[in-house]
Structure 1
Amino acid sequence: MVILITGATGFIGRRLVATLRESGHRVIAVVRHADATEDAVSGDFTRDLDPETWVPRLAGVDVVINAVGILRERGQQTFENIHTRAPQALFSACATAGVKKVIQISALGADRGNTGYFTSKHAADEHLATLDLSWTIVQPSLIFGAGGASATLFAVLASLPVIPLPGGGRQRVQPIHIDDAVRAIKEIVETDVMHRRRVALVGPEPMSLRDLLQRLRARMQLPRARFISIPAAMMRASAAIAEHLPGSLLDRETLAMLNAGNTASPEDTRRLLGEPPRAPEQLLTDEQRHGLVREAQLAWLLPLLRISIALVWIWTGIVSLGLYPVEQSYALLARVGIAGVLAPVMLYGAAVLDLLIGIGILVLRRRRWLWLLQLAVIGGYSLIITFKLPEFWLHPYGPLSKNLVMLAAIYMLYTLEGRRWNTSS
């Protein structure tokens, strides 16, 4: 069969492309910028909002799978465009072009949720259900797999020394492994089962969020979890703040979807797979465990280290602006050859620079140049003090020797953040 897949580079889409091609199907991937060497066509859900745009791309296509989805709006990537208007245009074009089957990957709870994510998905689902063609609306629960947003979020939570639980972690979840989800969708593609139906793809059993995190932590071979319950109001306030942080997986939308619950009967999934979906203990393989544990811990350890270094710079700037006796600061500057009108310029200029570096660490998204600046500044300070004030190497509090730790920590952030940025770009 000839299968066109939108969202072909996403978490679900790229696995569907690989699996269906391995099964002998011709798969046409819809990407923003198609390469002439690829079996792909160009398409953009922020702009392609009319059926006429899609009809030419559907010539000879037997099956269309819509795997496009976003968790957070950004610029023109709105829920209305990405989840509703572009899919509706695509589905209408499928009816016009005579596509035999359309599979819409929606979300479990979309038909009863009231978040922007749910309502936008539901609007596209309802439009598809009115068309005169064969369709299946797939409603997966949390999909767990390496590289997925759900796996990343829950692995990070499970790896924390103390795990915060919104509302005590009583929310009901039923995660399904990505491989099971892809196998089930492949079965829908290749057979006539689930014709004109909404299909829930879920794991074998519902469980509480607390139970999931406890099982996941045990599978990661980490010590027994310590939980702390976070009141609902505090959790909503935290989500409102977190949604403004680059890369954050927590916002008011995801929190509301979690609180809404995410469970259903596993019967459809069992029928499609021909066996029960894998148990929660099987969501994480031995091969994936070590890498996921390391990535999960780095996901919170690196921000913790970054914030700590930022606070050092900010506090140093504040102290230099007057909390430390100015006369003593001028005396130290005089010993390194800075006196007269230049002394206040250097003192307050350095203090402002420290403050700006600290604030920059907290607010800038790309910080590689800032880590290099810090290495240069601390290295320069250390060299000057070594030659002009060598007694600081013998100070019992180690004000100069601690710079070695700062330099190592900053270089580690420079290296690891650069690697993570390149991986996500």
Structure 2
Amino acid sequence: MAPLNSHSYHKVLALLAVIVSLVVTTTHASTITRRLETIPYLDYTGIEAAAREAISDTLKRRGVDESDLIARELLGPRQLSVTVPSCKKVSKRKEWRDLRYNEKKDWIRAVKCLQTKGDYGISPISDTLYDAFTQVHQTNWTDFHGNAFFLPWHRWFVWVHAEAMEHECGYSGPHPYWDYTLDYKNPTASPIFSTDPEVGFGTHGNIPLREIGQGGYKVDNGAFANLKVNLPIPHFLTRNFSAWKDWDPERHWGTALGGSFSPEQVKIALKAETFWELEAAIDGLNLTTFNDPPVVPSPDTPAPAGIIPLAGIHNGPHFFNMGDWNGPFWLLGTDWFPAGVVAPNDPMFWPHHTNVDRTFWRWQQRPGKQWEFNGLKGANRTDDPALPTDLLPFYGLGPDVPVALTLKTENWPMCYTY
């Protein structure tokens, strides 16, 4: 991508200013500020300072003149007494199988604990922090799915969830990812879906539920048996491990779509030459035939060479689980479509998306890729290009932050690695 000069960036500042005014209520000339209720363990002032520094540094790396001036125009005057905090430690995330039994048990306890914590005024339907994450994920969901914002938005989202588990519920162990390439030949047989009542995520259960959407089965075993969630309406956690057969009856994609997240599919993603190509590989998008206007995708939607269409290493696990985890397709044909992207209802969302983030992180370890960010803001060829200065919206779940702040996990405030 060619370097952007200061003139090019000033052309977009007016647009960015409009975005800032729409998504943030400003209280002291800064865009990184408190909305609704503040979350006490998130350092809003420190995040503002880190965001300012990240924007300035990222633009300098791109050869943009006056990067400090641009950061000031975006974020307001610098608070002179504020410096960016440093990481007390850089934690290491681990594969689920590498956690000790008691660590798994405590992680599951902390996830459930979020159902007992207040939501800081985020969700109009429920007042629990557990449901607040689902509420935020489904709000204007097309703004951060299937476009350049998908990876940085979900990276920050998963980090805030980890912070909530630690500060609200006392979890102190490693945060897990699920490396599904270890299970791709038969995903539903993965040990993560154990029926162990203390450390298993459970299967799809035995009790059919048909209240909403395409239905599924109440999860009635494992540590999350009989878990009640509230979006789009109150119901028991639902999965359906058999629905994938309707998508792929000839098993072209392997058992339970496992071929879409095989080691080979991950290798293809990691070979992507640009960030935008990485996003396309992870989501199974075709950048040369991007829908214009966008349409509901199908298994026949073209995809990058070698990538299984539509599924990709992100969507494939969603699709074979169905139920709550499948998101909008689960609610196709109901009053809740397409707003019901309720995948965080299922605790499997977190180790899955942590692994998607790990793939992003692994790609960033290649020379020259750490700070790369490009692509489009939407699923339309005529959409505006995405910029590292663009704000990612979190609707009260902490501050809205620029993409630039999410590009290095080892930096404060995220302070983690793989």
TM-score, normalised to structure 2, is: 0.22
Larger-gyration structure (1/2):
1
Q: Which has the higher strand share?
A: 1
Q: Name the structure, 1 or 2, with higher relative contact order (CA <8 Å, separation 6+).
A: 2
Structure with the largest fraction of helix:
1
